[in-house]
Amino acid sequence: MSQHLPSLEKLEPLVEELAEFWVSALEHGNWERRLHVLNKIHDQLRADLATKAEFDMVSPRFVAAIIDRLGAPPVESEAQAKIYAYSLNEVHRDAASAWSLRHRSLEGSDQSDRRRFPRKVVNMLSEIWIQGFTAPCRLIDVSLGGARVALQQADAPEPGTEVRVVVPGKGICEAIVVFVNNSLEAGLRFCHQPEPAMMSA
């Protein structure tokens, strides 16, 4: 039986109400503080909303509404890029992706993976399973050997952790965490390489 998805007509007023309520708490301070506050808000939303489907619909719309109310300034920090990456607004996500591509620094063995396998930027919402728990993430780029994902603050695993991540055109892939950098981007090495056809799309 297919899951009944909540109506956008029902959730949009909630998104606007949340954005109006929280924007005053986010107007002041730096982006690190805003990221911390937004993580707390999202933790509460997970507890308050009836289903995961509702959370998945409300969360990116709420982030987009907050960014717009803050004036959508250009991305200039890791924390700001992380917030923009979770927005429903493609313009916000593209700004986060552009900043990340300019500033990313791959570490350890992932650097050799980057040399051996060309990477395809995908910049899309996905899911990651960490020690049995499911968490939202943003899939930044994918290669035949692995992927890079942006994580939420509470979800960052240690290098060497076995995870599973949803990859477009491939489904759920098992992977090992190679590194997690200061902006909570994780480099993943696939346990089984994706099919080459996935990368040619």
Greater confidence (32 vs 194) lies with 32
Residue 3 within a domain: no
The DSSP letter of residue 155 is: G
As given in the structure block, the two tokens for residue 92 are 């916000």
User: What is the C-alpha to C-alpha distance for residues 47 and 76, in angstroms, rounded to an integer?
Assistant: 32
CATH number of domain containing 190: 2.40.10.220
Same domain membership, residue 123 and residue 66: no
Same domain membership, residue 133 and residue 80: no
Residue 80 within a domain: yes
Q: Do residues 121 and 161 touch, judged by C-beta distance below 8 A? A: no
49-93 pLDDT tens trace: 888 888 888 999 999 999 999 999 998 888 898 899 889 898 898
Same domain membership, residue 98 and residue 38: yes
Residue 160 within a domain: yes
Identify each DSSP E strand in 11-87 by its residue range: none
As given in the structure block, the two tokens for residue 40 are 């707390």
Cβ burial, residue 146 (10 Å; 0-12/13-18/19+): buried
As given in the structure block, the two tokens for residue 39 are 């993580």
Residue 173 within a domain: yes
Same domain membership, residue 65 and residue 124: no
What's the domain range around 69? 8-103
Instruction: Please give the model's pTM, rounded to 2 decimal places.
Output: 0.58
Residue 1 within a domain: no
Same domain membership, residue 191 and residue 140: yes
Question: Which residue, 103, 128, 147, sits at the end of a domain?
Answer: 103
Same domain membership, residue 12 and residue 49: yes
Same domain membership, residue 136 and residue 169: yes
User: What is the C-alpha to C-alpha distance for residues 124 and 134, in angstroms, rounded to an integer?
Assistant: 17
112-130 pLDDT tens trace: 444 456 778 888 888 888 8
